[in-house]
Amino acid sequence: MTTPTSRSAADANPFAGLMPVRLWELFAELTTIPRPSRKEEAVLAWVDAWAAGRGFEIRHDAIGNRLVRVPGTAGRESAPIVALQAHVDMVSEKHSWSTWDPDAGRILIQREGDWLTAPETTLGADNGIGVVLMMYIAESTDVPHGPLELLFTVDEETGLTGAAQLDPSLITAPTLLNLDSEEDGILYIGCAGGADTTLHWKGQSRFVPDGWRGVSISVTGLVGGHSGGEIHLDRGNSLKILARTLREIGVRTPFCISAVSGGNKRNAIPREARAELALPPGPDAMVRVGEAVAASLEAARGHYATREPSVAITSLPGAPPASVNDEASTKQLVALLSAIPNGVLAMSQSIPGLVETSTNLAVVTTKPAAQGGEVSITSSSRSSDRQAMEEAVDTLASIGALSGCRIESFDKYGGWKPAPESNVVRLAAEVHLRLFGVEAPITAIHAGLECGLFAEKFPKIDMVSFGPDIRGPHAPGERVSISSTAKFVRWLGGVLTELSGERLT
């Protein structure tokens, strides 16, 4: 287990000397504001106060999205309106041992060379950097631009809810720049659609016989990551490793499951998982559990190698649970968890190296026995091909049906079809070439961008998505590149200047 960072490390100012100064001041302030998905009241109040303090017009819709109108700079008041967009919520993840907590606005931030990082939690650069970029541009006197519509959306991370329920009347701009991409110098012109599926399973319960013992099986130490942008890296999924461990145990000794849990965000690869078991009397059962855990750990280390250097699987004896699923139900639950697909299902045939379809076994919870002991298993599927996504969802539903599950599918959202001939894509690529002397690659992303929903609401809008380097979003250790952010400020400013009618030289 990684040792928690000492308090003294937090006393140094990681933002000292960073440029542009105002941009990093805004980001430092933002990291102290709680903003988990669906609990964005504090950050929205912060945005409102910022806009009101500068005399900008503020509008909002029923779901809580904010639209801030910024006048054009002198001489550009009549230029075409451009919308800039970012989401205010963040994925709040932390190591189980850490005392830092993004949900409370407490994030330990450190500077490591060119990176700002949160070693024990998520940093919130996804999409906090986009939020403060919009505010910085609006405040700046160094970036000529036409009238701007700054769109701050809510609840992106749990289902793109803000974009899905956006009041279309808020946006009048013919061009939208999405600031939610995470790779320096790359233009994104398409994204995957997706859907979540939950299988609700209930087994046959029984009381634990006298003499049986309890044991907890835990999977910890995994890297985790974004279930869209990092699914192709084949990192360990704690729930799949746990299922494999339970199969190993079942080969060696009978057991019954009381509860299974793991993961807490549908769009994050789960890093930890746990199962509570009851074992029959006698010392052999515990010995065989130890053998199974050792075998499963050896297999995980062999498969993942350097991708998961800290993977751990442990067994801890304890008091037996009051009730468990009987042996037949236990075998069915283990088979169900084992059968659920996870990872890349298909690669794109049109964009080399792009994942087309994937499924992430994301979250498993078990209700207490007093509430029926139901196990809920949520998977998040993504695809840039609508038919392939439907097939992925159908596969999950079919597996659930074979196990007698109640099936729930929700949070479906459409993809964004690439338009490489787009005017704003061409312009952004030209600006990058003139400023930095290299061409910007143009591609799509295997993740859900709000642009997919904007494309449905505004069929004629011209869009592109770009941003600075951010690594490890949705997992502790998330970091953002300082130099890449400074570079992106120049790129974004150049695009806005050209959109307002002035050609960069």
Here the tokens at position 470 are 């951010």
Would you kindly state where each structural domain of the chain is located, as residue ranges? Answer: 7-192+416-421+442-495, 196-413
Tell me: pLDDT of 1 over 80: no
Kindly tell me the number of DSSP H helices and DSSP E strands found in the chain: 11, 25
- The residue among 17, 94, 27, 18 whose CA lies nearest residue 474 is 94
pLDDT digits (tens, 9 = 90+) for 79-95: 999 999 999 999 999 99
State the Cα angle at 57 between 53 and 63, rounded to 5°: 105
pLDDT in tens, 225-240: 989 989 999 999 999 9
Whether 4 has a pLDDT exceeding 60, the answer reads no
Whether the predicted pLDDT of 8 surpasses 50: no
Residue 17's pLDDT is what? 96
Confidence of residue 384 (pLDDT cuts 50, 70, 90): confident
Q: Predicted confidence band at 504 (pLDDT cuts at 50, 70, 90)?
A: low
pLDDT given for residue 119 in this prediction: 97
Helix, strand and coil content of the chain, in percent to the nearest 5, comes to: 35, 25, 40
Output the pLDDT for position 391: 96
CA distances to 130, 295, 334, 339 from 304, in Å: 33, 14, 22, 20
- Name the helix (H) or strand (E) containing 330: helix 327-339
Question: What pLDDT is stored for residue 50 in this prediction?
Answer: 98
Residue 278 CA: distances (Å) to CA of 208, 256, 288, 296, 326: 7, 5, 13, 19, 10
> Residue 505: its pLDDT value, please?
61
Give the mean pLDDT of 104-108.
97
* CATH number for region 7-192+416-421+442-495: 3.40.630.10
Question: What gap in Å lies between CA 27 and CA 388, rounded to an integer?
Answer: 39
Catalytic residue among 40, 89, 157, 272: 89
Residue type, 294: A
Q: Are 159 and 411 in contact (CB under 8 A)?
A: yes
The residue annotated as part of the active site, out of 93, 120, 156, 196, is 156
Question: Do residues 492 and 436 touch, judged by C-beta distance below 8 A?
Answer: no
Instruction: Determine the pLDDT at residue 368.
Output: 93
Active site residue 156: yes
pTM of the model: 0.75
Q: Which two tokens stand for residue 444?
A: 């799509």
Instruction: Give φ, ψ of 184 to 5 degrees.
Output: -60, 135
Least Cα distance to 375 among 455, 462, 273, 464 occurs for 273
Length of the chain: 505
pLDDT band at residue 7 using 50, 70 and 90 as cut-offs = very low
For residue 139, the model assigns a pLDDT of 98
Q: Give residue-wise pLDDT tens across range 417-461.
A: 888 889 999 999 999 999 999 999 999 989 888 999 999 899 999
Residue 447: what pLDDT? 84
CATH entry, 196-413, from 3.30.70.360, 3.20.20.70, 3.30.450.40, 3.40.50.10490: 3.30.70.360
What mean pLDDT do residues 365-380 have?
A: 94
167 classed as catalytic: no
> What would the mean pLDDT of 157-169 be, rounded to a whole number?
93
At residue 279, the pLDDT reads 97
Chain mean pLDDT for the chain: 94
